[in-house]
Structure 1
Amino acid sequence: MFRRWLARGAFGLVVIALLAFVGLASWEPFFADKGAPPPAGDYRAEIIRDDFGVPHIYGKTDADVALGVAVAHAEDDFFTLQDVIAMARGRYGAIAGEEGAAVDFVYHLLDARGTAEREFPQLPEATRALFNAYAAGLNQYAAQHPEELKLANLFPVNGEDVAAGFALRQPFFFGLNNVIEPLVAGEPLRREFGPDIPGFPRDPNGDVIGPDLDGVPAQARAHPLPWGEMGALSGSNAFAVAPAKSGGPTTLISNSHQPLRGGVAWYEMVVESEEGWHFAGANFPGSPFPFLGHNRHLGWTNTVNRPDMVDVFQLELDESGMRYRLDGEWRDLEEKTVTLPVKVGPIVLPIRRTVYRSEHGPVIFNDKGAFAIRYGGIDSIEQLDAYYRLNKATSFDEWETQISRMAIPSTNFIYADEAGNIAYVYNAAIPDRPELGEIQVNWRGILPGNRSDLIWQGTVDYAEIPRLINPTSGWLYNANNEPYTAAGSADDLSPDDFSPVLGIEDKQTNRSRRAYRLLSEANLLDRTNLERIKYDTAYEREGYVADLWDALEALDPGADKDLARARTLLLGWDFTADSAGSADALALLMIKDFMSAEYQNKNAPDVAEHLRAKVAHLQEHFGRLDPPMSELLRLRQGDVDLPLDGGSDTLRASTTWRVDDDGRLSLVHGDSFIQWVEWPRGGGRVFSRSIQPFGAATTRPSSPHYTDQMQLFVDHKLKPVHFWREGALANAKRRYVVESN
């Protein structure tokens, strides 16, 4: 009897275990809020695919075109679009596991959904219609291709869902991750510090001495999930040249450096409607319009800038740990419990977490206390309308009117147009920090959270940020450098003319140093000279490069013969990553981490230790210290494997890579979408060329456009952009119509 009872008990446990497994494997799609479709609409778009598969999307209305943008992009990369939509709905952890759940936590922390719910209905009707039509296109593709879905009940979505994705991702382009990550980990912030407001002293290590945490509930002290990368180390080069300097056309060169795959990889398109929207450029997954490119009258490109856009406040908590003092009064922290889906193998675990908010903004607890963050563009999605209006601007005045709204939270703009105008705007929705007279406030430090006069509202005026229009030099550039080197010595702005409270960065990149030198030295910036500059692979021995080589000169290798040979090889390097020199491969490996440390305000690696690791890598995989760099650095996609040139911070940029099993470096981030635009001098139609590292269909191995641009990209060549309809039709390889159901 006991055995029968035991057997029945064991069977019962098995059943319970199976039921638990089934529950964990299936709860998430049903628990998640079921998406709502956008308002019904009749949309119709024509898609013309050229010989490289680039879509040219036509419609009677702008909304028609937006439907076509969604369908065309889904046809080429529905894989990535689903990830972006999952992020926009706080469900990415159900796809990407622990790292995805970290993104979902930030989604709730920043109140991306709440921002979209509050602000999307306030946008102009035409802008809302554009986003709803785009959502309709995504829904239609999902319904027609259920076999491609990663996650049940992810669709339908609406314009508000798409807007929530913007609210989540935009702050990471100006480095919000460099504040959130160390705060979650309880580490010092990665930026410059000076003396803070009295009352918040530091310990001998420079860390803020915070209040006692004895009364703070354990669940509130820190979020245990690893942060995970929301953004990427983004770079870019941008050039504009006036006719007098080019000897011919007004020229705009967009040379963005983004990850080659994923949620912030460029997707190329041409859009045209009967409502005046006609634009050639590229967007990121999840956007109904291009972020950069050109229309018939004007164009622009962007580079990442790094102003101080984030302020951190340490809250003074009461004994409960759930109230904070502000102007002498205790206030309750806003709190909201959320469920994070975390995929682990075949199951999805529901992890409950609480997010907090104060009057300042989102609140993060760590073992030093509670810290609130406030950042430029907080709780705003006005950029959705501004980008749309920029696409349709027909003159510099119209374009600048949209930029001056300060709606786009960050990124430099380099501009050019058919009239021969060129311009540079250090665009940033910099917080309008109060001037407090004799009280000295270090806005880059940790601010006391008990004073409401430090909680700024809105942004500075457009007139306060750096900008240059039509310099006498005839050229403008930016390569993620300070705005004070942009047009040559006769035209450059002075840092003395801008308030230090703006927090404008004062750093240079190697790309900036090279561009400034080469542009300044050129008598003529025609197509030949601009190509030479754009594909330059040299380093200046300045900044972190100088520091690294000074350290190599001072390095004593001792009895380590490999280290000594490597040091000698590097000291004889010609500082050019063109794959022609014997030290190029080793130099490539050495420089990247030093560049990254400088860019992200981290400590540089130990030179001897770093060099030993790179020597070991080359010896293991090549059996030598001096293999051709082209054998080390590769552009790989599917069965195509091609050699690359350029380094981590050269104008021809091969920024970061993954290390494959064979020891080769497969590029993951660097030169990505390149577009070269020319308006003929004296009038005439705009003409442009472009290139992508792989092809239009980056996640479709069966597509002929999976790898068809790779050889051109490696060879420094561009393909024509068929901006005008007759050109698109003359080069059409496929032509079809998509309509809403």
Structure 2
Amino acid sequence: GATPPQATARVEHDNHAYQLADARQQRFALDRGSNAVAVGSERSFNGRGMLLANPHFPWVGGMRFYQMHLTIPGKLDVMGAALPGLPMINIGFNQHLAWTHTVDSSKHFTLYRLQLDPKDPTRYLLDGQSLPMSKQTVTVQVKQADGQVVPVARDVYSSQFGPIVQWPGKLDWDNQFAYSLRDANLDNDRVLKQWYAMNQATSLKDLQDSVHKIQGIPWVNTLAVDDQGQTLYMNLSVVPNVSVDKLAKCSDPRAGLQMIVLDGANSACAWDIDPQAAQKGIYAASQLPQLLRKDFVQHSNDSAWLANPAQPLTGFSPLISQQGQPLGLRSRFALDRLGQLSKKGSLAVQDLQQMVMDDQVYLATLVVPDLLKFCAAGLSADAATLKPVCASLKAWDGRANLDSGLGLVHFQHIMQALQESPDIWSVAFDPNDAQHTPRGLAVKQPAVAQALREAMLASAESTGKMGLKAQTRWGDIQVVSSGGQQTPIHGGPGTLGIYNAIQSVPREDGKLEVVSGTSYLQVVTFDEKGPHAQGLLAFSLSSDPASKYSRDQTEAFSKKQWSVLPFTEQQIQADPQYQVQTVVETVDKAGKVAAQ
């Protein structure tokens, strides 16, 4: 936990520290997220709802999705996936509707900068009154280097706003200031109740009403469709109630809007209380963005602003949703693809599946022509090094398929270097044309041309060190390992506008090991009999390498093969691998339950 400072400690709180924190949060949001598309009666092939769910989550550890089908006769029949430990379906479908979630851009906590009592750094001033921090000693068992497990104690200090936190060099506890974190979800004990209600909903109105009443969704948007052809977007998570006026009066402007720091010395800067909200200090659901339409809604971790550009969602506190900001490339891809598909007529199941599986690199459509112009303009003294890079870019298909060439690797290296600067674009961002801007590389500007040259040279060096050859394919590089076997994985960084966002990390042998990204996939449609679903769990159901279910769906994902998800009893019993296992529980005299 955070610890009190030494007697003479004092840290300068400068703009640069806040900017670093802001940039880090933005990069985190770009690297992880989800996609969702809900298509309604005006655009679907049969006039009923269609849903694509494409959450991006870790492939290992405690945040792996697991597939389930839960039934309670007469009360519950729902199929989909959930995170470990949750007994409800998080993303899935039932007889009448289907839904999914995307990580939202809303704020779910604020920091409070405490003005400390000059006499004691464990006391803080609120409206001029000195108040003591509380202290709680927490002891945990920790394994040491020699294998022994010993108790380790830490003191946790808190103000009335929440625990004291430290971020060395950014949020320091010195003799002048300390920082307290108030988390809106700390009082949200309604999560299970919320998803149970969603699992039982029989219409979009039921679903929306349950979220309005319970307000148990912690940090995600909800997109849903029903069998009547309606679509729903809701940015109805738990958000601190801090108005625009209060932000102007109480927030530290150096922190920006990515990390809200409020004045902890003024009680007027506390979160507002709305009696209509499910808990004190959060916005009521009626004050949050939501959209009910019959054409489509979509989301890829941007704000609520352009869930459907035909009906922008505007006028909210920045803690809820911001407008007029550049869209992420996955959102731009989705809007572009949906626009193209709408021109040809109605959307089919395959159209939604291909949005993920064709692995288009959307950023490439915006800048590769300029990269090739740069290559054609003359490479001067660096020609010998850069010609192979240019040749790879020219030959590349603009995708992240298994058979995509080395141009993808060069493109990733180059754009990761260039995207650090906002001044690379030939057409700057225009909030009135957010779907199509920024675009184009300003290669005629000397600074951009020099940065591009350096990025290309660095990529040539990097690929050489990785041992990559001109004939190397993406499937030779990006893999996932299980049980001593490797499976090639398509997709790539969402920061490049790849809808099938896959995050991988370098290995010692020069390959990239997948650690996160596309996880549970589902496309759900409806007819008069109920739902029809196809899906995949990209990393497979079992985490035990010895299990035959640890790689089966991963191999199917690698081959872009979707599976039919059997929902009705007739569909389930028709499965060739169908079998019944009966579990009988007995209770002994001591009250212990034993399964047989």
* In structure 1, distance between residues paired with 2:16 and 2:486: 48
Q: Is 1:358 aligned to 2:181, yes or no? A: no
Taking structure 1 as the reference length, the TM-score comes to 0.62
Q: Is 1:311 aligned to 2:110, yes or no? A: yes
Q: Is 1:466 aligned to 2:289, yes or no? A: yes
* Residue in 1 that maps onto 2:447: none
Give deviations 1:630-685, integer Å, cap 9, x for gaps.
211223322443333222124542421132332111222121110111111xx212
Give deviations 1:416-474, integer Å, cap 9, x for gaps.
11122111112221111256589634473532211112121421122222211024xx1
Taking structure 2 as the reference length, the TM-score comes to 0.76
Query: Of residues 512, 519, 524 in structure 1, which corresponds to 2:331?
Result: 512
* Residue in 1 that maps onto 2:269: 454
Q: Give 1:120-139 correspondences, 5 Å limit.
A: none
Q: Give 1:646-661 correspondences, 5 Å limit.
A: 646-649=491-494, 650-661=497-508
* In structure 1, distance between residues paired with 2:124 and 2:115: 5
Q: Is 1:721 aligned to 2:568, yes or no? A: no
* In structure 2, distance between residues paired with 1:293 and 1:501: 28
In structure 2, give the amino acid aligned to 1:663.
G
Paired residue secondary structure (1:661): coil
Query: Of residues 298, 309, 320 in structure 1, which corresponds to 2:120?
Result: 320
Identical residues among aligned pairs (%): 23
Describe the shift of the 1:314–1:276 C-alpha distance in structure 2 as closer, same or farther (beyond 3 A): same
Describe the shift of the 1:566–1:463 C-alpha distance in structure 2 as closer, same or farther (beyond 3 A): farther
More helix by share: 1
In structure 1, give the amino acid aligned to 2:332.
R
Describe the shift of the 1:712–1:316 C-alpha distance in structure 2 as closer, same or farther (beyond 3 A): same
* Residue in 2 that maps onto 1:665: 512
Q: Is 1:243 aligned to 2:41, yes or no? A: yes
Describe the shift of the 1:308–1:702 C-alpha distance in structure 2 as closer, same or farther (beyond 3 A): closer
* In structure 2, distance between residues paired with 1:438 and 1:399: 32
* Residue in 2 that maps onto 1:703: 547
In structure 2, give the amino acid aligned to 1:327.
D
Describe the shift of the 1:261–1:627 C-alpha distance in structure 2 as closer, same or farther (beyond 3 A): same
In structure 1, give the amino acid aligned to 2:165.
I
* In structure 2, distance between residues paired with 1:247 and 1:204: 53
Paired residue secondary structure (2:582): strand
Aligned-residue offset at 1:289: 1.3
In structure 1, give the amino acid aligned to 2:262.
L
Query: Of residues 225, 228, 240 in structure 2, which corresponds to 1:416?
Result: 225
Paired residue secondary structure (1:243): coil
* Residue in 2 that maps onto 1:678: 525
Q: Is 1:587 aligned to 2:406, yes or no? A: no
In structure 2, give the amino acid aligned to 1:587.
F
Aligned-residue offset at 1:611: 5.3
Describe the shift of the 1:624–1:344 C-alpha distance in structure 2 as closer, same or farther (beyond 3 A): same
Q: Give 1:327-338 correspondences, 5 Å limit.
A: 327-338=127-138
* Residue in 2 that maps onto 1:692: 537
Q: Is 1:339 aligned to 2:163, yes or no? A: no
Q: Is 1:425 aligned to 2:234, yes or no? A: yes
Aligned-residue offset at 1:622: 3.1
Q: Which moved more, 1:304-313 or 1:549-558?
A: 549-558
> Is the contact made by 1:655 and 1:670 (CA closer than 8 Å) also made in structure 2?
yes
Query: Of residues 101, 118, 127 in structure 2, which corresponds to 1:302?
Result: 101
Aligned-residue offset at 1:737: 2.7
* In structure 2, distance between residues paired with 1:476 and 1:447: 34
* In structure 1, distance between residues paired with 2:75 and 2:219: 27
Paired residue secondary structure (1:373): strand
Aligned length: 510
> Is the contact made by 1:537 and 1:651 (CA closer than 8 Å) also made in structure 2?
yes
Q: Give 1:32-431 correspondences, 5 Å limit.
A: 203=14, 205=16, 233-248=31-46, 249-318=48-117, 319-345=119-145, 346-365=147-166, 366-368=172-174, 369-404=177-212, 405-431=214-240
* In structure 1, distance between residues paired with 2:557 and 2:364: 29
* In structure 2, distance between residues paired with 1:469 and 1:295: 20
* Residue in 2 that maps onto 1:736: 581
* In structure 2, distance between residues paired with 1:659 and 1:720: 34
> Is the contact made by 1:645 and 1:652 (CA closer than 8 Å) also made in structure 2?
no
Describe the shift of the 1:258–1:463 C-alpha distance in structure 2 as closer, same or farther (beyond 3 A): same
Describe the shift of the 1:611–1:388 C-alpha distance in structure 2 as closer, same or farther (beyond 3 A): farther
Give deviations 1:697-741, integer Å, cap 9, x for gaps.
12x222221111122211222112121223223324442233343
Give deviations 1:250-286, integer Å, cap 9, x for gaps.
2111111111121111100111112511110111111
* In structure 2, distance between residues paired with 1:637 and 1:478: 32
Q: Which moved more, 1:629-638 or 1:230-239?
A: 230-239
Aligned-residue offset at 1:501: 5.5
Paired residue secondary structure (2:192): helix
* Residue in 2 that maps onto 1:485: 306
* In structure 2, distance between residues paired with 1:367 and 1:693: 43
* In structure 2, distance between residues paired with 1:511 and 1:372: 35
* In structure 1, distance between residues paired with 2:504 and 2:377: 27
> Is the contact made by 1:510 and 1:539 (CA closer than 8 Å) also made in structure 2?
no
Give deviations 1:326-349, integer Å, cap 9, x for gaps.
111111101111123332331224
Q: Which moved more, 1:369-378 or 1:532-541?
A: 532-541
Describe the shift of the 1:616–1:654 C-alpha distance in structure 2 as closer, same or farther (beyond 3 A): farther
* In structure 1, distance between residues paired with 2:281 and 2:165: 22
* Residue in 1 that maps onto 2:434: none
> Is the contact made by 2:35 and 2:499 (CA closer than 8 Å) also made in structure 1?
no
* In structure 2, distance between residues paired with 1:507 and 1:375: 27
Aligned-residue offset at 1:511: 1.3
* In structure 2, distance between residues paired with 1:563 and 1:549: 16
* Residue in 2 that maps onto 1:636: 481
* In structure 2, distance between residues paired with 1:237 and 1:596: 24
* In structure 2, distance between residues paired with 1:411 and 1:238: 12
> Is the contact made by 1:480 and 1:508 (CA closer than 8 Å) also made in structure 2?
no
Aligned-residue offset at 1:562: 6.7
> Is the contact made by 2:230 and 2:292 (CA closer than 8 Å) also made in structure 1?
yes
* In structure 2, distance between residues paired with 1:615 and 1:307: 40
Q: Give 1:560-571 correspondences, 5 Å limit.
A: 564-565=386-387, 568-569=390-391
Describe the shift of the 1:301–1:617 C-alpha distance in structure 2 as closer, same or farther (beyond 3 A): same
In structure 1, give the amino acid aligned to 2:300.
A
Give deviations 1:336-370, integer Å, cap 9, x for gaps.
11123332331224322111111111112425531
Aligned-residue offset at 1:243: 3.2
Aligned-residue offset at 1:514: 0.9
Aligned-residue offset at 1:589: 4.7
> Is the contact made by 1:324 and 1:332 (CA closer than 8 Å) also made in structure 2?
yes
Describe the shift of the 1:611–1:338 C-alpha distance in structure 2 as closer, same or farther (beyond 3 A): farther
Paired residue secondary structure (1:701): coil
In structure 1, give the amino acid aligned to 2:504.
W
In structure 2, give the amino acid aligned to 1:485.
L
> Is the contact made by 2:54 and 2:522 (CA closer than 8 Å) also made in structure 1?
yes
Paired residue secondary structure (2:480): strand
* In structure 1, distance between residues paired with 2:453 and 2:538: 35
Give deviations 1:525-581, integer Å, cap 9, x for gaps.
1123223323242234499979x9699889998855675346535764564333434
* Residue in 2 that maps onto 1:620: 465
Describe the shift of the 1:536–1:479 C-alpha distance in structure 2 as closer, same or farther (beyond 3 A): farther
Describe the shift of the 1:362–1:421 C-alpha distance in structure 2 as closer, same or farther (beyond 3 A): same
* In structure 1, distance between residues paired with 2:225 and 2:298: 11
